[in-house]
Amino acid sequence: MPPEFSYSFQGFDPVSQVRASSREVNVSPKFAREVCKAIKGMMLHSAQAYLEKVMKLEAAVPYRRYKKKVGHRSNLFEFHAGGYPVKAAKFVLATLKNLEANAEFKGLDAERIIVQHAAASRGRVIKDFVPRAFGRSSPNYHVLVHIELVGRES
């Protein structure tokens, strides 16, 4: 039996909206949140092109919440602190491609899809330990992330 989950987006209209999600992805929750915040409100194809530029280190993602001790990027205009979260961009891009496939399956025009909702929330924690000297160990926890995207046809 597959796991049951629900989306955080409320008021989903199955006729004009489409959704996709990636569950329990091993990526930084802070970086995933910033990438989702950056693509929210973009057209589907421009969001895909933007994330491909982020993966090539050509475009930076603005860090709006998690910005302490982060360098500034010259290609950001509104918010200067930022970086290139390649791994988070890769997983969000895979979810965007899933959103596009779901839109085409529903009969919606993929050229007119706008990313209406993009969210990354923390999932379960994988507990691990790193062996240290003198028989000790230190905890090394991995927080998994749920990525949710909702698009609507404009």
Is 9 part of a structural domain of the chain? no
10 located within any domain: no
Q: Can you give the pTM of this predicted structure?
A: 0.91
pLDDT tens-digit series, residues 16-47: 999 999 999 999 999 999 999 999 999 999 99
Domains of the chain: total = 1
Q: Which two tokens stand for residue 53?
A: 């530029």
pLDDT at residue 3 above 80?
Answer: no
Q: What's the pLDDT band for 1 if we cut at 50, 70, 90?
A: low
End-to-end CA distance of the chain: 36
CB neighbour list of residue 139: distance below 8 Å, 6 or more residues apart:
127, 128, 129, 130
Residues 6+ apart with CB under 8 A from 57: 84, 86
Q: Provide the pLDDT for residue 151.
A: 97
pLDDT recorded at residue 2: 65
Cβ-based neighbours of 29, under 8 Å, separated by 6 or more: 120, 121, 122, 143, 145
The answer as to whether 7 is a domain residue is no
Q: Residue 148 class from Cβ within 10 Å (0-12 exposed, 13-18 middle, 19+ buried)?
A: buried
77 pLDDT higher than 90: no
The verdict on residue 11 lying in a domain is no
Domain that holds residue 82: 17-153
CA distances for 37 relative to 34, 44, 118, 127, 138, angstroms: 5, 14, 7, 28, 33
101-123 per-position pLDDT tens digit: 999 999 999 999 999 999 999 99
- Residues belonging to the chain: 154
Mean pLDDT across 144-152? 97
Distance CA 34, CA 39 (A): 9
pLDDT at 6: 86
> Is residue 101 domain-resident?
yes
- Which CATH number belongs to the domain containing residue 97 in this structure? 3.90.470.10
